[in-house]
Amino acid sequence: MKRFILPTITIISIIVGVIIGNALAKRQYLIDSYSSKLQMPEVKGDEKIKQFMWWVNTGYVDTLDMNKLSEDVIIDILEELDPHSSYIPAKDLEMVNSELEGSFSGIGVQFNIQEDTVHVVAVISGGPSESAGLMAGDRIVEVDDSVFVGKEINNEKVMKRLRGPKGTQVKLGVKRHGTQETLHYNITRTDIPVKVVDAAYMITPEIGFIRISKFGEKTYKEFIASLAKLRAQGAIKYIIDLRENSGGYMEQAISMINEFLEEGDLIVYAEGKAYPRQDAKANGKGSFKNTPIVVLQDEFSASASEIFTGAIQDNDRGIIIGRRSFGKGLVQQQYPFQDGSAMRLTVARYYTPAGRCIQKPYKKGDNEDYLLDIVHRFNRGEFYSKDSIQLVDTIPYYTKKGRIVYGGGGIMPDHFIPRDTSHNTPYYNTVVNYAYTYQFAYTYTDKHRDTLNKYKTWQTMSQHLDQQNLLKEFIAFADSKGVKPVDAEIKKSEKALLRLIKAYITRNILDDEGFYPIFLQDDPMIEDAINTLQNNLTE
| 71 CB-contact burial (10 Å; exposed 0-12 / middle 13-18 / buried 19+) | middle
Q: Is the pLDDT of residue 19 over 70?
A: no
Cα 405 to Cα 258, 293, 304, distances in angstroms: 21, 19, 19
Residue 395 half-sphere exposure toward CB, CA atoms < 13 A: 10
Reported residue count of the chain is 539
> Given the DSSP bridges, would you call strands 237-241 and 293-297 parallel, antiparallel or unpaired?
parallel
pLDDT confidence of 304, banded at 50, 70, 90? very high
Least confident range of 82-91, 254-263, 301-310: 82-91
Give pLDDT, residue 421: 92
What separation, in Å, do the N-terminal and C-terminal C-alpha atoms of the chain show?
109
Q: What is the mean pLDDT of residues 208-236?
A: 96
User: Where does 103-193 sit in CATH, by number?
Assistant: 2.30.42.10
Active site residue 303: yes
% pLDDT > 70, the chain: 90
List phi, psi (to 5°) of 458: -70, -30
What mean pLDDT do residues 215-236 have? 96
pLDDT value at 459 more than 90: yes
Q: Please tell me the predicted confidence (pLDDT) of residue 26.
A: 40
Read off the pLDDT of each residue in 57-68 and give the average, rounded to a whole number. 90
**Other residues' Cβ atoms within 10 Å of the Cβ of residue 457:** 13
SS3 184: strand
Q: What is the 3-state secondary structure (H, E, C) of 302-371?
A: CCHHHHHHHHHHHCCCCEEEECCCCCCCEEEEEEECCCCCEEEEEEEEEECCCCCCCCCCCCCCCHHHHH
Fold of 197-420: 2-enoyl-CoA Hydratase; Chain A, domain 1 (3.90.226)
Sign of CA dihedral 455, 461, 463, 468: positive
Active site residue 44: no
Q: Cα(161)–Cα(155) distance, rounded to whole angstroms?
A: 10
Average pLDDT rounded to a whole number, residues 86-109: 80
DSSP state of 414: S
Task: Decide if pLDDT at 43 tops 60.
Answer: no
Higher pLDDT, 19 or 467: 467
Average pLDDT value for the chain: 87
Q: With contact defined as beta carbons under 8 Å apart, do 520 and 526 qualify?
A: yes
Instruction: Write down the catalytic residue from 237, 328, 360, 502.
Output: 328
Q: Which of 351, 299, 355, 364 is nearest to 325 (CA)?
A: 299
At 307 the pLDDT is 97
Q: Is the pLDDT of residue 1 over 60?
A: no
Q: Which of 143, 130, 236, 229 is nearest to 182 (CA)?
A: 143
What is the model's pLDDT at position 16? 41
Distance CA 147, CA 155 (A): 16
Q: What are phi and psi of 537, to 5 degrees?
A: -100, 25
Mean pLDDT of 7-36: 42
Helix/strand/coil percent split, the chain, to 5 = 40, 20, 40
The catalytically annotated residue of 138, 198, 265, 314 is 314
Q: Which pLDDT belongs to residue 46?
A: 65
Q: Is 400 a catalytic site residue?
A: no
Q: What is the pLDDT of residues 159-199, one digit of tens each?
A: 888 988 889 999 999 998 778 889 999 999 988 877 889 99
CA-atom Rg of the chain in angstroms: 31
Q: Is the per-residue pLDDT at 58 higher than 60? A: yes
Strands 397-398 and 293-297: unpaired
Please give the C-alpha separations between residue 239 and each of 75, 235, 471, 513, 528, in angstroms, as whole numbers: 40, 10, 32, 16, 11
Name 170's Cβ contacts closer than 8 Å, sequence gap at least 6: 107, 143, 144, 161, 162, 164, 186, 187, 189
Q: Which residue out of 213, 303, 325, 462 is catalytically annotated?
A: 303
Work out the pLDDT band at 349, boundaries 50, 70, 90.
very high
For the segment 356-365, what is each residue's pLDDT rounded down to a tens digit? 998 988 888 7
Q: Which of 448, 472, 462, 474 is nearest to 520 (CA)?
A: 462
Q: 22 pLDDT exceeds 90?
A: no
pLDDT band at 5 (very low <50, low <70, confident <90, very high): very low
Distance of alpha carbon 430 from alpha carbon 484, whole angstroms: 10
> Position 420: which residue type?
D
| Beta strands 103-106 and 190-193, pairing class | antiparallel
- Angle 384-385-387 (CA atoms, 0-180°, nearest 5)? 160
pLDDT higher than threshold 90 for residue 24:
no
> What φ, ψ does residue 23 adopt, rounded to 5°?
-65, -45
User: Does the global pTM surpass 0.85?
Assistant: no
Query: CA nearest 246: which of 466, 96, 389?
Result: 96
Band of the pLDDT at 236, cuts 50, 70, 90?
A: very high
pLDDT > 60? residue 4 = no
The residues, any chain, with a CB within 8 Å of residue 191's CB and separated by 6 or more, are 103, 104, 105, 166
pLDDT of residue 478: 96
pLDDT attached to residue 15: 42
Q: Residue 306 in contact with residue 411, Cβ under 8 Å?
A: yes
More confident residue, 313 or 538: 313
Q: Report helix, strand or coil for 520.
A: coil
Distances in whole angstroms, Cα of residue 97 to Cα of each of 101, 103, 486: 6, 10, 46
The predicted pLDDT at position 247 comes to: 92
Rounded to an integer, what distance in angstroms lies between the CA atom of residue 270 and that of residue 191? Answer: 34
Contacts of 69 (CB under 8 A, 6+ apart): 53, 56
Number of Cβ atoms within 10 Å of the Cβ of 48: 10
